[in-house]
Structure 1
């Protein structure tokens, strides 16, 4: 068994590989953890953006520009108004008054 250092990936910029080579084992572990978390975050953001794009193609004609395409119509009474666009932003539910809605019978 040899104890030679690992070879950096071919696509890794040389200056980046050299910087990593100068880091302590502890710092390298922090960097590895951060890089993993960052990659997961960016992948999640990419998936969400792709879903937004798919929903944008299905965007209703009467949906205001400041309401995301994932919003749904909710019948709810707020300040004597009954119909709202609603959507979730993080832990909060956002609402925007839509206007009176007529139902076809």
Structure 2
């Protein structure tokens, strides 16, 4: 083991390096354990989020426009005795709609 102090990684902020340099060995070992567990937790969260995003992409209907969320449902609106399909979804307190197509009377 070298007698020289270790060189901190360049991507660690100076404030953290200074705090670590002022810590005793017991605190440093605790920080190291916590940092390892925290890194694993964040990696797992990122994998779960990526998996959920992939599932949402796979569940999207083929005719769903890009600006309509996957959670949207199809509703029928009647306007002047004509019936139309609309995508409809909730954003916060508001219900949003986007035109899809006319309702085919043969269906």
What TM-score do you get using the length of structure 2 for normalisation?
Answer: 0.53
* 1:43-95, Cα deviation, whole Å (9 max, x unpaired): 0010010110110112266xxx5xxxxxxxxxxxxxxxxxxxxxxxxxxxxxx
Alpha-carbon separation, structure 2, partners of 1:30 and 1:12:
18
Matched residues, number: 63
SS of alignment partner, residue 58 of structure 1: helix
Unaligned runs of 5+ in 2: 62-70, 72-107
Residue 41, structure 1, aligned to residue 41, structure 2: yes
Alpha-carbon separation, structure 2, partners of 1:60 and 1:12:
40
Question: Structure 1 residue runs of 4+, over 6 Å off?
Answer: none
Counterpart residue number, 1:28: 28
Larger Rg belongs to: 2
Unaligned runs of 5+ in 1: 66-105
What TM-score do you get using the length of structure 1 for normalisation?
Answer: 0.54
How far off its partner does 1:13 sit? 1.0
